[in-house]
Structure 1
Amino acid sequence: MSGAAHRILIAAVTLAAAGLAPATGLAPAQASSVAAATPVPDRSVVTWAASADRLGEAPSDRTYRLVVRTSVGGSRVRVRVSNAFGDRPLVIGSAYTGLRKSGARLVAGSNRRLRFDGATSVTLAPGEIRYSDPLPGRTVAGSDLAVSLYVRTAGGPATGHGMALQTSYATAGDHAAEEQDGAYSEQIGSWFYLDAVSVDPDPVPGAVVTLGDSITDGWQSTTDKNLRWPDFLARRLHRMPDSTVQGVANAGISGNRVLADGGGQSALARLDRDVLSLPGVRTVVLFEGVNDIKSHTDVTAATLTEGYRRIIDRVHAAGKCVVGATVLPYKGWSEWDPQGDAVRAEVNEWIRTSGAVDAVADFDKVLRSPYDPQRLLPTFDGGDHLHPDDKGMEAMADSIDLGALACEGGGRVRAAGNA
């Protein structure tokens, strides 16, 4: 894919930010049951994740070299492959993981074959999610892993994450084992079939999942630089080696809503698969709501906060904590109106004062303009008045109380602050 085509793909995906993404074809109940059946490896902690969605028609006889950044180091790397949105069997004929040197080229000697229950290939039934067997050796935090998947047989809807903001690579035929980049002439801006990577840290820290929309997905941050706000959060945690939370998993989907499908399945429908099924998770940062509010579907503060409560209750029932993030201002975006902003203000007051969450990340307070609180501060505005730029992403991550991420389980209420 040319650079121009790459940009076109990214631009198409961002239509979801305006609520224009198509609804998925998988019923929420089906997706939840698939996720609940996914085994969680013992001692594993998620080091990278990207929430899956439906990406269009899936070609066969194609290799994807998918570049991902680890957040926590450890041994026994496992990858999780997904056919969550497929309507027919997916055959991965071979799979490898190695360290990326540059572009699609790997560090010599680092590319190692992945197996699934001892086999070199794996067939995923429609809706199925599988972990690979663990690889021996260690992986360092902040590494660029290249996971190469040769899709021998596919068809129907492909499963993947559309807006990666990371260049990966693809080619025809089976080139998964190759460490050189010669075959990988096509650049792609999405991750296909790979939705999580985990490691066994020593000692074992926990992980945080950031559940959100296009702001969490990183739109308006710089491509290939890992400058989404969860990336900045991962770097902050890495600078604190004694922290009991080190892993960061990004569960943002552009255009996502709490209550209804649109840009991906709703947060309520995908919570099990994209959040609760990931290994080692202690805390969830819940940062959703602006797409519900600006969609002009008569969403009220009462209906949106009821949706939050349902998510919070399920996370607490799983023994994890919730950090509630306030909804950012978006005056200047085409869908803004005073009525929607009044809903946003009421929702933010509920997040701050209801006591339903275990801590608060007040992103609204950090990024709003002191001269017009309904707008983003210009220095943090990515240009469309809805999505923060790189500086705004960093400010969001810097505002989170790192101590609030070290959940002791069961939904313990903490005071919020800055660290």
Structure 2
Amino acid sequence: MATLQTAWTSPTDLNYGNTYNSTTRDIATVPVAGSSLRLTFSNLWSSTPTTFSAVTVGAQQSGPDVIPGTFVPVTFNHGSRSVTIAPYGRVVSDPVPFAVHAGESIAVSMATVGAATVSAHTCCSGPIDSYATSDGVGNLTLSPTAAGFNPLISSTFMRWLSVIQVAGSPAQGTVVAFGDSITDGFGYLNQGFSWVNAMQARIAHLPPSEQVVVVNSGIAGDTLTVFPPHDSYAEGSGGLPGVTRLNMDALSLPGVKSIVLLLGTNDIWFGAGGVTGHPIPPYGTAPSIEAGMRQVVNAAHAHHVKIFGVTLLPRSTSTAADHDLPENWTPAEQATLTAVNTWMLSPHTPFDKVINLNAVMSDVYNGDCRPTIPFAPYFNPDHLHPNVAGETIMADAISTTLFGIAQAPQVAPLVTATPTRDCPAAQLAAQVLAAGRQPATPPTTTTTTITTTTTMPASTNYSSMAKRILEVALLVLVVLLVVALWNARRRALRRRAARRRTQRPRSHPRPPGPPRSPPPPRRGPGPRRP
């Protein structure tokens, strides 16, 4: 089998109820082409075994419908059509001879035998990702229509399916986006859209052989570090903490070449008493978060995987009026966030590169200069989760050259955001955003009724200015050289004429002319002509 690389992920984070003798059909979109597949199924949140009597893969038509004739059976353990997944375990299929096209959505159908507890990825609101039958309906893994599937239990939560690997892809490896709800795409207005979607859209403009796959390993409510029981969302949706699940959800995946880490803001909130109402130091402090980051970086480097850190985004208090549960953000929590970001950006950082998205997402545009406050047009009403415009600008600020590929074109921004003049934080935001631009694209402002590109102030456009100055200087030098050559030519002609006059033979005297009149007397020291 050709070299495998990971093309899609959906890490499970919660027990999502029980089922019995039913069929589940998960829909996943694979961003790159491949000649065959391998599928991973997770039983991580079940204390009992789960048995699939049959699994198939086919090309999605729409909803739960599958294009007739595209079903291919999935086998396990060298040819078995059925498989039992151990409690808290996972299973990987045999290679599946199913060719997938770039951007194609596939339908993976699983028929359970007996009782089963569902392990699911519980984010986010948006398109339906998973369809299921009622209990007792049985095996519909080869049914191409929606008949038999219960629309009342369709879900945006992916069930059991957690990893898709492809073989024979022209892409150059996999980048894992490792984070929390900000990476996962949580938000009232997002419909599951994340900066990962925007980044993959950028990369899709490159030739297939120059692309990488960016897979989403975000879990809403996730923390970086380990918290005591019942002090975080771990029991309710947050999944395993980053330091615990790093190997399973990133380092063990085939083809991974780098990781982008955006975790830590939940640690601050939980540590300050976000769940209990009482601070629980040392959890959620700057030293504990920094120690967690070092642990993750060391593990990545031990696997020869590069890891890029993203500074924690600005946030502020949300209330019931903001369409969310009240979530207070105190000056002490802000001080912790600032301390973590300062350490990340310092020479002591362990990361291969730090991407300062905090600067890009701060309120430093359109006349404002408040670097600790979220820029409202980039965020959902909760002042915490970026909206589609915010997720898009985050992807635009990450240079794809970090992943060993060419600089991909930026996605058109969705809101007007002009860095505020005389605001140092705005200048920093513009510089960070410029890192994601194509080298040949000049930083200009384009405004329409829908989108406006973020303007980089002229004072920061040093490379363009230097190029223009050099061009002018070269032009001046050329003009001076031409003038110098012309003057030298004139002097040479004058000297040649003088020599000819002095060397004229005496036998040819100048013919006499009319008598010359004496010159008029000078009247003063007026200016002389050259």
What band does the TM-score fall into relative to the shorter chain?
0.7 to 0.9
Judge conservation of contact 2:64–2:145 (CA < 8 Å) in 1: yes
8 Å contact from structure 2 (residues 133, 150) kept in 1:
yes
Structure 1 153/319 Cα, relative in aligned 2: closer, same or farther at 3 Å? farther
Residue 301 (structure 2) aligns with:
316
Bigger relative contact order (CA 8 A; separation at least 6): 1
The within-5 A match list for 1:73-152 is: 73-116=33-76, 117-152=78-113
Contact 2:2 2:168 in 1 (8 A): no
Q: Which residue of 1 aligns with 2:213?
A: 247
Contact 1:207 1:245 in 2 (8 A): no
What residue is the counterpart of 1:188 in the other structure? 155
Distance across 1 between alignment mates of 2:198 and 2:59: 21
* Matched residue type, 2:84: T
Cα offset, 1:92, TM superposition: 0.8
Give unmatched runs, 5+ long, in structure 1.
Answer: 1-40, 408-415
Shift of 1:272: 1.2
Give the Cα–Cα distance (whole angstroms) in 1 for the partners of residues 300 and 188 of structure 2: 29
- CA deviation string 1:44-82 (max 9, x = no partner): 111110111222432121211111121222111111111
Give the structure 2 partner of residue 305 of structure 1: 290
Q: For structure 2, list consecutive stretches of 5 or more residues without a partner in the other structure.
A: 228-233, 273-279, 319-326, 406-431, 438-530
1:191-202 residue pairs with structure 2 within 5 A?
191-202=158-169
Q: After the TM superposition, which residues 6-405 of structure 1 pair with which residues of structure 2 at under 5 Å, given as runs?
A: 43-116=3-76, 117-155=78-116, 157-165=117-125, 166-167=127-128, 168-172=130-134, 173-186=138-151, 187-203=154-170, 205-220=172-187, 227-241=193-207, 245-261=211-227, 262=234, 263-295=238-270, 296=272, 297-298=280-281, 299-333=284-318, 334-353=327-346, 354-370=348-364, 371-405=369-403
1:175 Cα deviation after fit: 1.0
Q: 1:72 to 1:361 in 2, by over 3 A?
A: farther
- Which amino acid is the alignment partner of residue 96 of structure 1? T
Task: Give the match's secondary structure for 1:265.
Answer: coil
Question: How many correspondences in the alignment?
Answer: 369
Q: Deviations over 1:246-289 (max 9, x none)?
A: 21221111110011252111101111111112111111111001
Q: Quick one: distance in 2 between partners of 1:158 and 1:104?
A: 19
Judged with a 3 Å threshold, the aligned counterparts in structure 2 of structure 1 residues 367 and 390 are, in CA distance, closer, same or farther, namely same
- Over 3 Å counting, the alpha-carbon distance change for 1:242 and 1:115 in structure 2 is closer
- Checking the alignment, whether the CA contact within 8 Å between 1:244 and 1:406 is kept in structure 2 is no
CA-to-partner distance for each residue in 1:218-270, whole Å, 9 max, x for gaps?
Answer: 0117566x621111111212212266552122111111001125211110111
- AA aligned to 1:180 is T
**CA contact 2:170–2:209 (8 Å) conserved in 1:** no
Query: Given residue 85 of structure 2, which amino acid in structure 1 is its aligned partner?
Result: L
- If the length of structure 1 is used for normalisation, what is the TM-score? 0.83
Q: Which moved more, 1:303-312 or 1:235-244?
A: 235-244
Q: Counterpart of 1:341 in 2: which secondary structure?
A: helix
Residues 1:55 and 1:300: Cα distance change in structure 2 (over 3 Å): same
Map Cα deviations across residues 69-108 of structure 1 (whole Å, 9 max, x no partner): 2122211111111112222221011111112111111122
SS in structure 2 opposite 1:92? strand
CA distance in 2, matches of 1:149, 1:324: 37
Mapped to 1, the partners of 2:90 and 2:112 lie a distance apart of 15
Q: Which amino acid aligns with 1:418?
A: G
Give, as a single letter, the amino acid of the residue that structure 2 aligns with 1:350: W
- Single out whichever of 75-84 and 238-247 deviates more from structure 2: 238-247
Q: 2 CA distance for matches of 1:272 and 1:202? A: 23
Given that 1:332 and 1:375 are in contact with CA atoms closer than 8 Å, whether structure 2 keeps it comes out as: no
Displacement of 1:338 in angstroms is 0.7
Q: Distance in 2 between matches of 1:140 and 1:150?
A: 26
Letter in 2 for 1:275: A
Other structure's SS at 1:119 match: coil
User: Relative to 1, partners in 2 of residues 1:137 and 1:169: Cα closer, same or farther, differing over 3 Å?
Assistant: closer
Structure-2 residue corresponding to 1:21: none
Runs of 4+ in 1 over 3 A off after TM superposition: 201-204, 221-224, 242-245
How many Å separate the matches in 2 of 1:55 and 1:241?
Answer: 40
Deviation at 1:351, TM superposition (A): 1.7
Q: What is the CA-CA distance between 1:213 and the residue it aligns to? A: 0.6
Q: Which amino acid aligns with 1:259?
A: T
* 2:425 aligned partner: none
Q: Which amino acid aligns with 1:216?
A: T
Q: Is the 8 A contact 1:99 1:111 kept in 2?
A: yes
Equivalent residues of 1:88, 1:154 under 8 A apart? no
Q: Which amino acid aligns with 2:105?
A: D
* Native 8 Å contact 1:71 1:246 kept in 2: no
Question: Which structure features the higher share of strand residues?
Answer: 1
Aligned-residue CA RMSD in angstroms? 2.0
